[in-house]
Structure 1
Amino acid sequence: MSNTLYFGDNLHVLREHVADESVDLVYLDPPFNSNANYNILFKSPEGAQSESQIEAFEDTWHWNDSAEDAFDEVMRSGNTDAFTLLRAMREFLGDNDMMAYLAMMAVRLIELHRVLKPTGSLYLHCDPTASHYLKLLLDGVFGPRNFVNEIIWKRSHAHSDSSQGSKHYGRISDTILFYAKGGSERVWHTLYGPYDQSYIDRDYRRVDENGRRYRLDNIQGPGGAAKGNPYYEVMGVSRHWRYSKERMDGLIAEGRIVQTREGAVPAYKRYLDEMPGVPVQNIWTDIPVINNRSNEMLPYPTQKPLALLERIISASSNEGDVVLDPFCGCGTAVHAAQKLGRQWIGIDVTHLAIGLIEKRMKDAFPGIEFEVKGRPQSLKSAEDLAKRDKHQFELWALSVVDADPWKGGRKGPDGGIDGIIWFKPDGKKTEKAIVEVKGGGTGPKDVGRLAQVMDREGAKIGVLITNQLPTRAMERDAAAVGFWENEYTGRKHARLQIITLAELFQNKRPDIPWVDTSLAKKARREETTKQGKLL
């Protein structure tokens, strides 16, 4: 199985492209309203927003025909336990956003159970708002006996949501529900963390002549003769011992059995550097959170730390196994899988996510090869996407030219900006190129409007991506905007550049000066922080 990214609804992708019992590990972090007021999740359909395709930054689903269809599909699935639970939830909750979320999740969990191998495991990442409902659904799909752990992950430090006016404790944790398809047959590797320094100082306070820390362990045989432990003399002391006489003599020869004073009971010398550490428990507070100073931060608000996914994948899969993330977002799970030598499948419903993952994987693993399915691979398919879904077409086009989507357009007019390319022409000063995407008709007015936006925003370069060939008037007006000279290189760049869809498929890209990846990340972090404060 080759490593593959799929653009599309994960329910359809799972049914059409993922075979029964072909996946070793599933991790999913389904979108939900993690940062919203709890009561908003239970609003009635009348108060809900109009239905639209699920977006990376819109963490909620609504009760509508799609949710009703999902509810019916669970009923027809043959999984009576899952449907019984889902029907009871609907009677309790009514037809609202929360119920829509649970119906849409239930039908997908049934598919995920189907594709898992008997030795496979599933980790569902959620917040406490819906974790109790999801656990019931998982009990229905996997069986309550196949529940393994509820993991609590400390996802952030203390923040202002626990201030005096909020009247609740600070919400800084996520829940990860861990289920196994085959119960005890699951793949499992015990992971260890470092010992606490106070424990080391207390229990491993002794240091040998080589500077190695050690402690002394009891070697007396518990239960004595009743447990079958042998009785003999060691260093002048007769006792029942844990080891046979032959094994004891070998340990003494190795210098591992010591006597602290004459007549004292001998003990085993246990070195700190031979110990694996503390087994990882189900409360995780040791994984650094992502913030605007993190090197791994991407322009994606629900990004999870790479270390979190490395822990899950290391514990519940083997090298070469297949890891599936059906809501892959910015691709942390597939990144961790690749790093740890696993095969992977990622699915997401937005071009923003797929484009971001493509770039992330190529930056992290130069020369990597993987398939991307469901995205436009030809001019005709790109034109078809532009007709079907303008916003997804824009996100796809922006990802092709490595532009960040402009968040200002999410809750209001975009001001003539669809995306921004950050660059650092002189190695010091941050500059930007504004990108505008047009899937329909274009004309000189579009060139003039982009030129105005460039002046307003102080952008050195503007890029107009268009489906239609530019007219002579458009080319004339674009040329009239002039050139920008990079003082650092002395090279001139057209200030307003027009690129057609056909040219994108011929690998033509904007003529932008050297793009500094580290600067782009810094600019993205600053923009993400700024937009977060505005919203």
Structure 2
Amino acid sequence: MKQKSKRNKTIDFGLDEAQKYLKKAIYFTKDSAFKNMINKNIIGDTFEVLENVSNESIDLIIVDPPYNLRKNYHGNIFTEKDSKSYEEYTRTWIEMIKDKLKQNGSMYVCCDWKSSLIIGPILLEYFNVRNRITWQREKGRGSKNNWKNSMEDIWYVSKSDDFTFNLDKLKQRKRVLAPYKEDGKAKDWKEGEGVKYRDTHPSNFWDDISIPFWSMEENTGHPTQKPEKLIAKLILASSNEGDLILDPFAGSCTTSVTAKKLNRRYIGIEQNELYVAWGEKRLENAEKNPTIQGFEDGIFYERNYRP
């Protein structure tokens, strides 16, 4: 077996080592009580686990469902479906999840450009669609007969017109390349940390996200892991400290880890034991290091920029 570099922090151990971490998670049974699920990652089929989640109990839901692509999730294979079948699959989990959200709750749904065409119209039937965020993945495979796919969508919806949105928690620091002065004084920018900068309001296009890579503590062997920085924006925008956040397709538990770092409660649901074990290892690491790459002192920094 090839030896890792000392700088390689990727969490990708096997099931033997996983056992000690799986003790911290919950294996779902039909008798699993909702109160015991809070601040836990649940190992089980989300369509079964959701039956035991109380209605109108969740403040924020973050959903990263399988995109309509063939993908091998370490033995759990999701097979690409025709559009109608994927629509039925999407409608099934939306029907199960919609009543779990509080009346003033919000939800974010991740998708690629192709699944977005199916998911967006269905969300319109059940929720108030407030926006569609597009974020730059930075990576993506090239194609001989199409554009390289390096963007993903996140649909932002609420259950009603009463919802949380913390604009003041989402300031993004951008360097000013052409600083303008009025009467000899800086206009709408500041200087510090050796650069001229402006703290701006967030838009629905995010180009400041770095995909987790081998030297980052948050990185795992999960094939479609979302960055903590991305999830942090969603959590800070649409929840408050102490709120309860649900992720029904938890993967390596990025939502659970980020919620913990931001003083929220969480429930993660994932059927793959190995991914949950990786998530539990990340939660253990978060006890010692609660930082989120690219986010510091309430400010989101540009990609590859260190304050």
The TM-score with structure 1 as length reference comes to: 0.43
Q: Please name the residue that 1:516 is paired with.
A: none
Ranked by relative contact order (alpha carbons within 8 Å, sequence separation 6 or more), the top structure is 2
Q: Please name the residue that 1:196 is paired with.
A: 175
Shift of 1:204: 7.3
1:276–1:160: structure 2 CA closer, same or farther, 3 Å change rule? closer
Corresponding position: 1:8 with 2:44? yes
Corresponding position: 1:170 with 2:170? no
Matches within 5 A, 1:465-476: none
CA distance in 2, matches of 1:177, 1:57: 29
Residues 139-178 of structure 1: per-residue CA shift (max 9 Å, x gap): 1222xxx111111010124x5514xxx1211110111011
1:61–1:35: structure 2 CA closer, same or farther, 3 Å change rule? closer
Corresponding position: 1:26 with 2:61? yes
Q: Please name the residue that 2:3 is paired with.
A: none
Instruction: Report the secondary structure of 1:302's partner residue.
Output: coil
Q: Please name the residue that 1:286 is paired with.
A: 208
Shift of 1:357: 1.3
1:102–1:352: structure 2 CA closer, same or farther, 3 Å change rule? farther
CA distance in 2, matches of 1:340, 1:22: 19
1:130–1:12: structure 2 CA closer, same or farther, 3 Å change rule? same
CA distance in 2, matches of 1:98, 1:362: 40
CA distance in 2, matches of 1:136, 1:160: 27
Structure having the larger proportion of residues in helix: 1
CA distance in 2, matches of 1:137, 1:204: 50
Instruction: Report the secondary structure of 1:304's partner residue.
Output: coil
Aligned alpha-carbon RMSD (Å) = 2.7
* Unmatched runs of 5 consecutive residues or more in structure 2: 1-34, 192-196, 291-307
1:59–1:192: structure 2 CA closer, same or farther, 3 Å change rule? farther
CA distance in 2, matches of 1:342, 1:130: 29
1:293–1:133: structure 2 CA closer, same or farther, 3 Å change rule? same
1:35–1:291: structure 2 CA closer, same or farther, 3 Å change rule? farther
Judge conservation of contact 1:24–1:119 (CA < 8 Å) in 2.
yes
Instruction: Report the secondary structure of 1:277's partner residue.
Output: strand
The TM-score with structure 2 as length reference comes to: 0.73
Q: 2:142 aligns with which of 158, 161, 168?
A: 161
Q: Please name the residue that 1:515 is paired with.
A: none
Q: Please name the residue that 1:71 is paired with.
A: none
Shift of 1:321: 0.3
1:25–1:160: structure 2 CA closer, same or farther, 3 Å change rule? closer
Q: Please name the residue that 2:157 is paired with.
A: 179
Residues 481-529 of structure 1: per-residue CA shift (max 9 Å, x gap): xxxxxxxxxxxxxxxxxxxxxxxxxxxxxxxxxxxxxxxxxxxxxxxxx
Corresponding position: 1:322 with 2:307? no
Q: Please name the residue that 1:60 is paired with.
A: 78
Instruction: Report the secondary structure of 1:135's partner residue.
Output: helix
1:56–1:97: structure 2 CA closer, same or farther, 3 Å change rule? farther
Pick the structure with greater CA Rg: 1
Judge conservation of contact 1:57–1:301 (CA < 8 Å) in 2.
no
CA distance in 1, matches of 2:74, 2:246: 18
Residues 23-50 of structure 1: per-residue CA shift (max 9 Å, x gap): 00000111235577xxxxxxxxxxxxxx
1:344–1:108: structure 2 CA closer, same or farther, 3 Å change rule? same
Instruction: Report the secondary structure of 1:24's partner residue.
Output: strand
Equivalenced residues, count: 247
Instruction: Report the secondary structure of 2:87's partner residue.
Output: helix
Shift of 1:356: 1.5
Shift of 1:294: 3.4
Residues 315-344 of structure 1: per-residue CA shift (max 9 Å, x gap): 000010001000000011111100000000
CA distance in 2, matches of 1:272, 1:346: 41
